[in-house]
């Protein structure tokens, strides 16, 4: 560390990107978070993003081709998402997007994409929160990977929070909730699109967005999220 960086670090101490605890400038995350990271690794199911031991995809068909995520939705990444979503911690998005980039480089490295886009929020949600966390992750991801960012979708009506519903009502809850933004049809024709979100639970939201992109002419949609919920068992 040079002198300038050292002085800066006194005023702006380095913080863990998950829990925001002050850490040594040589570290990226704190010891506690590092030890409890729910990393997804090894033999992973590309359809649900879980390790194969926890896959319960069965015959379920999806509009999107695949999902990848660096973490399960628990521990430090879950806390970080909660801060990002509900406690105005917009500054966390950049560090979290780094982990999505690493996952991308590992699992999607041989694929090509024309655009990356994100799961939109209804304008009333954005008004209340001030931003859409999926968009922040996607913008940062785009800057780091060079995949062009495009704001393609909009959410046309407010739906009850997905986490308040069971799986079968989740799907119906979103029917027709998304549409392609005005004048975007030309740009997505035959495009390979990477769809970003903070978390995948049942996959219904990603699937409804993928469907909207495909019926408007996209060639292929794959997804990337920071977390996926771990299926209990097969």
- For residue 30, state whether it binds Zn ion (rule: CB under 5 A): yes
Residues 6+ apart with CB under 8 A from 181: 151, 152, 153, 154
Smallest distance from Zn ion to CB 3, Å: 27
How many other β-carbons are positioned within 10 Å of the β-carbon of residue 144?
A: 16
Among 8, 37, 57, 126, binds Zn ion (CB under 5 A): 57
Residues 111-170 that bind Zn ion (CB under 5 A): none
3-class secondary structure, 64: coil
Q: How many Å apart are CA 106 and CA 101, to the nearest integer?
A: 9
* Nearest distance from C-beta of residue 33 to Zn ion, angstroms: 3
Contact status: 18 vs Zn ion (CB under 5 A): yes
Span near Zn ion by CB under 5 A; candidates 57-65, 94-102, 153-161, 212-220: 57-65
* CB nearer Zn ion, residue 4 or residue 87: 87
Q: Which is nearer to Zn ion, 32 or 143 (CB)?
A: 32
The CB-of-96 to Zn ion minimum distance in angstroms stands at 12
- Alpha-carbon distance of 39 to 18, in angstroms, equals 14
Count of residues that interact with Zn ion, criterion CB under 5 A: 10
Please give the Cα distance from 3 to 172 (Å, whole number).
Answer: 58
CB of 14 to Zn ion, least distance (A): 11
Residue 147 phi/psi, 5-degree rounding, is: -75, 125
- 4: exposed, middle or buried (Cβ count in 10 Å: 0-12, 13-18, 19+): exposed
Altogether, the residues listed in the chain come to a count of 234
67 binds Zn ion (CB under 5 A): no
**223 binding Zn ion? (CB under 5 A):** no
Q: Is 37 in the site for Zn ion (CB under 5 A)?
A: no
Interaction of residue 194 with Zn ion, rule CB under 5 A: no
How far apart are the two ends of the chain, measured CA to CA in Å? 49
Nearer to Zn ion, 154 or 231 (CB): 231
Where on the chain is the footprint of Zn ion (CB under 5 A)? 16, 18-19, 30, 33, 45, 47-48, 55, 57
């Amino acid at each position: 560390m040079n002198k300038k960086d050292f002085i800066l670090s006194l005023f702006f101490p380095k913080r863990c990107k998950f829990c925001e605890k002050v850490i040594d400038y040589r570290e990226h995350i704190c010891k506690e978070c590092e030890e409890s990271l729910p990393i997804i690794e090894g033999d992973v199911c590309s359809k649900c993003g879980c390790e194969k031991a926890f896959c319960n995809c069965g015959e379920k068909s999806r509009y999107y081709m695949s999902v990848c995520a660096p973490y399960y939705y628990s521990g430090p990444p879950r806390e970080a998402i909660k801060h990002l979503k509900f406690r105005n911690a917009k500054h966390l998005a950049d560090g979290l997007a780094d982990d999505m980039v690493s996952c991308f480089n590992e699992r999607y490295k041989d694929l090509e994409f024309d655009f990356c886009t994100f799961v939109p929020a209804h304008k009333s949600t954005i008004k209340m929160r001030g931003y859409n966390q999926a968009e922040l992750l996607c913008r940062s991801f785009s800057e780091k990977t060079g995949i062009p960012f495009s704001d393609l979708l909009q959410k046309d009506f407010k739906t009850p929070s997905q986490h308040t519903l069971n799986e079968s009502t989740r799907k119906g809850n979103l029917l027709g909730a998304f549409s392609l933004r005005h004048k975007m049809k030309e740009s997505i024709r035959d495009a390979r699109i990477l769809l970003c979100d903070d978390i995948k639970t049942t996959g219904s939201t990603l699937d409804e967005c993928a469907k909207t992109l495909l019926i408007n002419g996209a060639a292929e949609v794959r997804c990337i999220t920071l977390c996926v919920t771990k299926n209990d068992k097969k």
